Amino acid sequence: MNPDLYELSRRLFLKQSLGGLGTLAITHLLGEQSANGAEKSVLPTTQANAVISLFQHGGPSQVDMFDPKPMLNRLHGKTYSGDLKFRNTNSAKRILGSPFKFAKHGSSGIELSELLPHTAAIVDDMTLIRSMVTKASDHSAAIRLMNTGQFLPGSPAVGSWVVYGLGAETKSLPAYVALVQNNYPTDGAGNWSSGWLPAEYQGTPFRSGSAPVQYLKTPRRFTTQARTGQLDFLNQLNRMHQIRHPENSELQARIKDFETAARMQLAVPEVLDFSDETQEIQKMYGLDSPNAKTRDYAKRCLLARRLVERGVRFVQICHGSQPWDTHNKNVSRLKELCQMTDQPSAALVKDLKQRGLLDETVVLWGGEFGREPISEGADGRDHNPRGFSVWVAGGGFKSGYVHGETDEIGYQAVSNIVSVHNYHATLLHSLGINHRKLIAPHEGRQVSLVDSPVTGADYIPELLS
């Protein structure tokens, strides 16, 4: 065949026959090979093999939800005389108590706010960390630090590192999926980017709405048989092209991307179809809720379970753009947000447990920082990086356990402090990954998610069972 005619026919076929499939952002197939010079180490005893991250962008208020502080309420309205380093230097030191009642739950007796009645039912299955700290107090830097281990943009996300370390279990779906709303969180697609790791490890966004994955649906004019024939022919053309350009190391990955996208045309509609879920399960998640926002979050939590069940390695639920950023109307906004997320989040843990999947799946819940115990304006709270709460369930994390504490007003972590890099190292350890050996070359040195030569961070054994 004339090479020029071959190239022209190939390009024409890609442009006209695939209906946009070639632009599909499915770029990880996944973990079958490491980058040149990379070192990956999986520990011999692995318990968890998947992660679901329920990321609450904006900074949930720990003193109103997870960290009861009687002294905070006793000092309500008074000027605090202690040494507080406010993010907002113009803020008055007026203590803002919490109107929400706390109570003990489960056999573990963990105290939670009345805002979280459904989460209260799973306290015996979770680790509650009340002593998280971060070194960033603005959203952009803090979300990057929590999501990539670095302050500056361009680094691989946690999900990319996990897939890079463990590889994929399915070839019909991406190994890393980000379930997002149409309003992306701060940093946008950087939240699920593979950064300087190979592009095959980046996350694939599934959006809310009728077409979660762009350019995936087969055009109506094509029958299934015709579509299969087209894709087979495309595969032949790609292989011929690869033979003609054996030196192109990216070509093989691109061919795999097309093959994965083709398989996804069958796999994605099936995983998105909840008709095989019982009414009991759908009700447990809150799909019958009169609140549309609750239903939307419930759908994403249920979809996260279905994806993990089918071999997806890392699922990330991104909760809009800074919804938990309660600089004003802290009380009313928390009520709305907890009504939206409490039931679906707890249902996810219950569902995984009853299906025997919780031991092998880590569920993470938390934001990039917490909120201050003083008031911003009349009824708001500003950012607090010095002490906040997150919870983890499953995957070998200790059940019914509270780790660490903050001071008497919930401002600063004072015992068993957990840094972001400690948190990441412990997550990797629960997946059987040695955080010191999960490294890849970047700008002349070996870099990791935890970057322990720089941070000195290690995993925290007390968090694991």
Q: Is residue 236 part of a domain?
A: no
pLDDT at 464: 97
Provide the 8-state DSSP code for 320.
Answer: S
For residues 435 and 53, give the distance between their C-alpha atoms in angstroms, rounded to a whole number: 19
Residue type, 158: V
pLDDT at 184: 81
* SS3 label, residue 119: helix
Orientation angle between helical segments 224-244 and 3-17, nearest 10 degrees = 140
Structural domain of residue 458, as residue ranges? 22-223+268-463
pLDDT digits (tens, 9 = 90+) for 112-171: 999 999 999 999 999 999 999 999 999 999 999 999 999 989 999 999 999 999 999 988
The rounded Cα 377 to chain-centroid distance in angstroms is 32
Q: Is residue 152 part of a domain?
A: yes
Q: Is residue 103 part of a domain?
A: yes
- Pick from 428, 318, 324, 284: which is nearest to 66 by CA? 324
For residues 164 and 173, give the distance between their C-alpha atoms in angstroms, rounded to a whole number: 16
CB contact at 8 A, 134 and 366: no
pLDDT at 12: 41
Q: Which residue has the tokens 């939800």?
A: 65
Q: Is residue 426 part of a domain?
A: yes
Go through the chain and tell me how many residues it has. 465
pLDDT digits (tens, 9 = 90+) for 333-390: 999 999 999 999 999 999 999 999 999 999 999 999 999 999 988 899 999 999 999 9
For residues 399 and 374, give the distance between their C-alpha atoms in angstroms, rounded to a whole number: 32
pLDDT at 15: 39
For residues 288 and 106, give the distance between their C-alpha atoms in angstroms, rounded to a whole number: 27
Overall domain count for the chain: 1
- Pick from 238, 233, 265, 273: which is nearest to 254 by CA? 238
For residues 402 and 361, give the distance between their C-alpha atoms in angstroms, rounded to a whole number: 20
CA distances from 202 to 278, 303, 403 (A): 33, 19, 32
For residues 163 and 58, give the distance between their C-alpha atoms in angstroms, rounded to a whole number: 26
Tokens standing for residue 212: 């979660």
pLDDT at 210: 60
| CATH number (domain holding residue 402) | 3.40.720.10
pLDDT at 267: 81
CB contact at 8 A, 460 and 426: yes
Q: In the chain, how many H helices and how many E strands?
A: 12, 16
Orientation angle between helical segments 224-244 and 249-272, nearest 10 degrees = 160
Residue type, 321: S
Q: Is residue 242 part of a domain?
A: no
Q: Is residue 1 part of a domain?
A: no
- Pick from 368, 402, 359: which is nearest to 388 by CA? 368
pLDDT at 87: 58
Q: Is residue 183 part of a domain?
A: yes
pLDDT at 185: 80
For residues 429 and 47, give the distance between their C-alpha atoms in angstroms, rounded to a whole number: 9
pLDDT at 243: 81
The rounded Cα 208 to chain-centroid distance in angstroms is 16
**How many CA atoms are closer than 13 Å to the CA of 120, on its beta-carbon side?**
15
- C-alpha dihedral over 431, 436, 441, 443, to 10 degrees? 120
| pLDDT tens by residue, the chain, 465 residues | 444 433 434 444 443 433 333 333 333 333 343 443 456 666 665 589 999 999 999 999 999 999 999 999 999 999 887 777 655 545 568 999 999 999 999 999 999 999 999 999 999 999 999 999 999 999 999 999 999 999 989 999 999 999 999 999 988 899 999 999 877 888 888 899 999 998 889 999 997 766 666 555 666 666 767 767 776 777 777 778 778 777 665 666 566 666 666 677 778 888 999 999 999 999 999 999 999 999 999 999 999 999 999 999 999 998 778 899 999 999 999 999 999 999 999 999 999 999 999 999 999 999 999 999 999 888 999 999 999 999 999 999 999 999 999 999 999 999 999 999 999 999 999 999 999 999 999 988 999 999 888 888 999 999 999
Q: Is residue 253 part of a domain?
A: no
pLDDT at 199: 85
pLDDT at 211: 64
CB contact at 8 A, 178 and 303: no
